Amino acid sequence: MCGIIGYIGNKNATNIVVEGLKRLEYRGYDSWGIALKNGEIKLIKEVGKISKFSGGQDLEKSNMAIGHTRWATHGGVTKENSHPHTSCDGKIAVVHNGIIENFKELKKELETNHKFKSETDTEVIPHLIEENINLGFEEAVKKAVSRIKGRYAILVMNADSNKLIAIRRGSPLIVGINNDEKFIASDIPAFLNHTKEVMYLDDNEMVVIDCELKFFNLKDGSKINKRRITIDWDASQAEKGDHPYFVIKEIMEQKDTIARAVNQKDKEIIKIANEINKAYGTFFTGCGTAGKVCRIGEYIFSKVANKHINFTVSSEFPNYQHFLTNKTLMIAISQSGETADVMEAVEVAKKKGVKIISLVNVMGSSLQRASDHAFMINAGPEKAVASTKVTTAQIAIITLLAYATAGKLKEGKQLLMNTASQVNDMLNPRYEQHVMKLAEKIKDSNNIYILGRSLNYPLAQEAAIKIMELSYIHAQGFAGGEMKHGPLALIEKNSPVITLVGNDESKEEIISNTMEAKSRGAYIIGISPENNDIFNYWIKVPDAGNASPIVNLIPIQILAYHLAILRGCDPDYCRNLSKSVTVK
C-alpha cells in the first residue's frame, strides 16, 4: 500500500520521482503527489493514475524531490488528502505510508496553533516537526516521531535544508546508492533502473540523506553502520516487454519461475525438513493468496509426510499465542515480506521463542530479516496486484519441503521439475485461446462457483480470489462434499461451476459432487487431466500427481485475466486492493 520515493542528486529529481512513482503503481493507489525543492517547496498533487500524467507544463527542475502514491485510509480520495502534506509555513513536506494510531489526540492538540488542510492522519507529522524546528531539522523530526504511535514509513523534506530524512517503523524503506545519487523508496523497482546497490532501514531507525548517508537508532540515538547489498534482479524483469499487462507476462513466466523455485540447495531443504520433524507444533501463516498456499501446505504435508501442520491466517494468529513454546516452529509466507499482519504474527511468535522460517520473494524484506531461515522464491519482481507466478513458486517449495520431511527429497524434486516442464507445454497461444473462449461464454455471470477436494479444495478458494480480484465477478470456492450442506441453494440454471480434478483418491467423489450441481442446471467447467460426460466445457491439464494444484491453477489465472479484459477491468490494478498490504 502507498508508494514512497525520494531523490537527491545531480539529475532532474522531479522527473526521476515521477518515473519512480510510475514504477510503484502496482502497489495500488488512488491519488499521487510530488514535492520538489527549488528555493521553496512546490507541490503537484492529483487524483487518479500517474501513468496518465504527461507533465502538462514542463516539470520544474530540481535536485531534490519526494513523491507518493496514496491508498486512502483516513479521508476521501481528493487532491487535498493526497500526499505530500506540508507545515503551515509550507517549508516542511512529508510523505507517509502507514497509520498514525493516535492522530486524533495529536490533531486536537495541534489545532490550537496550526491550520489543517486535509482529513488525513499524515498531516499531523509536518505540524509536529514545525513545532520544534528551532531545535534543528534532525532534532525536530526525532521529537515528532517520538510522539507518534503506529506502524509507518516517513520521508521528510525541508526548504531550509539540503537533506532528506526518513524514518521506519513497520513499513519498508530502502536506500539506493549510485555514486553521488541517493534514492529512497518503499520498494526496489522504484529505482532499479538507476542502481542495484541498496541499504535497508530496520524498525526504529532513521536515515539522514545528503552527500553522505547517516543511520541512527531512534531508541538510543546511536549511529549505525549499514552494509551495502547488491540486488540480483534485472531491471527488464520489472517491465512488461511485449505483453499488454504485467499479469499476463507474469503468468507466462511460470514456464521458468517454478523451476527456479525448486532449484534450492538440498542441504538447506533438508535442514528445514529436520526442523519441521523435531518441532513440537508447526504453524503455517500467511494472508490472502499466501494463506491459501499455507492451506495447500496443510494437505500436502498430511498426504506426503503423514504430518499434521497447523494453519491460521496471520491476522488471527495472536489468538494462538497462549500455547506457543520455544519448541514451536512457524513457517510464514509472503510475496513482499512486508505484510503487516504477517509481521505482527512473527513478532508475537518471536516473543515466545518460536523459530521462524519464511518463504519470501523480496531480498532484504522485513520478513526475511526477521527470520531464522528464509527461502527465496526466486520468481523475480511481481508487479501485478494479483499474485500468479509467486503463488505457484510458493506451492512448489511447500511441496518440496513436504517430500524432504518424508525423506523423499529426490522424488519431490523430480515431480516438480516434471511439473515445470508440463507448465511450459501448457503456456502456449492455442491453450490461452481455448481458455479465452470460455471467458467469452461466462463473462456476464454474476456468480462463479469453484469446487475441489483434497489438495484442490484450498486451490478452489484461491481460484475464487483470482476471479474476484481481476474481473470483479463474485466467486466462491467450496469443498465438493459441502455442496449439499448449503451451497447448492445458490445454483440456478447456467450457473458456472468450475470443478478442479486431480488424478487421486478424491476424483470419483468430486465428479459425484459436480453432478449434484449439474442436475440443478449448472454449467459445468472441468479442469482435469481427463474429460468427463458431465463437463459442458473441458480444459485439459497434465496429470501432475501431488503437484496438481500448480497445473490446475494455471488455467484459472488465464481465465481470470481474460474475464477482466472482456469486462473492461484493468487486470494489473485490482480495484480497492494493494500489492503490499503494510497496514493492519
Domain chopping of the chain, boundaries: 3-237, 240-426, 428-584
Superfamily in which the 240-426 domain is placed by CATH? Glucose-6-phosphate isomerase like protein; domain 1 (3.40.50.10490)
Average pLDDT, the chain: 90
SS3 for 309? Answer: coil
The candidate with the shortest Cα–Cα distance to 442, out of 562, 570, 573, 530, is 562
Looking at residue 580, its pLDDT comes to 55
Q: Which of 2, 287, 294, 574 is catalytic?
A: 2
SS3 for 216? Answer: strand
Is the confidence at residue 66, as pLDDT, over 90? yes
Strands 64-70 and 31-38, sheet pairing: antiparallel
Mean pLDDT value of segment 256-266? 87
Beta bridge partners of 447: 474
Mean pLDDT value of segment 148-158? 91
- What's this model's pTM, rounded to 2 decimal places? 0.74
Q: Amino acid identity of 434?
A: H
Say which residue the cell 519482481 belongs to: 381
Looking at residue 150, its pLDDT comes to 85
Is the confidence at residue 243, as pLDDT, over 90? no
Is the Cβ–Cβ distance between 140 and 154 less than 8 Å?
no
Query: Three cell numbers at 538?
Result: 473441458
Looking at residue 567, its pLDDT comes to 97
Query: Three cell numbers at 535?
Result: 463437463
Mean pLDDT value of segment 485-502? 92
Domain 3-237, CATH: 3.60.20.10
SS3 for 568? Answer: coil
SS3 for 199? Answer: strand
Q: How many residues does the chain have?
A: 584
Judge if 3-237 and 428-584 fold alike in CATH terms.
Answer: no
Is the confidence at residue 55, as pLDDT, over 80? no
**CA 128/CA 549 separation, integer angstroms:** 52
- Cα 192 → chain centroid: 18
Backbone angles phi, psi at 527, to 5 degrees: -110, 105
Is the Cβ–Cβ distance between 390 and 382 less than 8 Å?
yes
Strands 181-185 and 197-200, sheet pairing: unpaired
Mean pLDDT value of segment 559-575? 93
Say which residue the cell 475441489 belongs to: 452
Q: Verify whether residue 2 is a known catalytic residue.
A: yes
Q: Which of 182, 413, 466, 579 is catalytic?
A: 579
| Helical ranges in 135-233 per DSSP H | 137-146
**Which CATH number fits the domain 428-584, given the four candidates 3.40.50.1780, 3.40.190.290, 3.40.50.10490, 3.60.150.10?**
3.40.50.10490
Is the confidence at residue 443, as pLDDT, over 60? yes
Is the confidence at residue 325, as pLDDT, over 60? yes
Q: Verify whether residue 294 is a known catalytic residue.
A: no
Query: Three cell numbers at 453?
Result: 477436494
Looking at residue 54, its pLDDT comes to 63
Looking at residue 26, its pLDDT comes to 66
SS3 for 11? Answer: coil
Mean pLDDT value of segment 527-549? 95
- CA torsion 580-290-282-322 (nearest 10°) is 50
Looking at residue 185, its pLDDT comes to 92
**CA 371/CA 241 separation, integer angstroms:** 34
| Helical ranges in 450-566 per DSSP H | 456-471, 507-518, 548-566
Is the Cβ–Cβ distance between 576 and 335 less than 8 Å?
no
Q: How many CA atoms lie within 13 A of 181 on its CB side?
A: 21
* 550 — pLDDT class (breaks 50, 70, 90): very high
Query: Three cell numbers at 524?
Result: 459445468
451: DSSP letter: E
SS3 for 51? Answer: helix
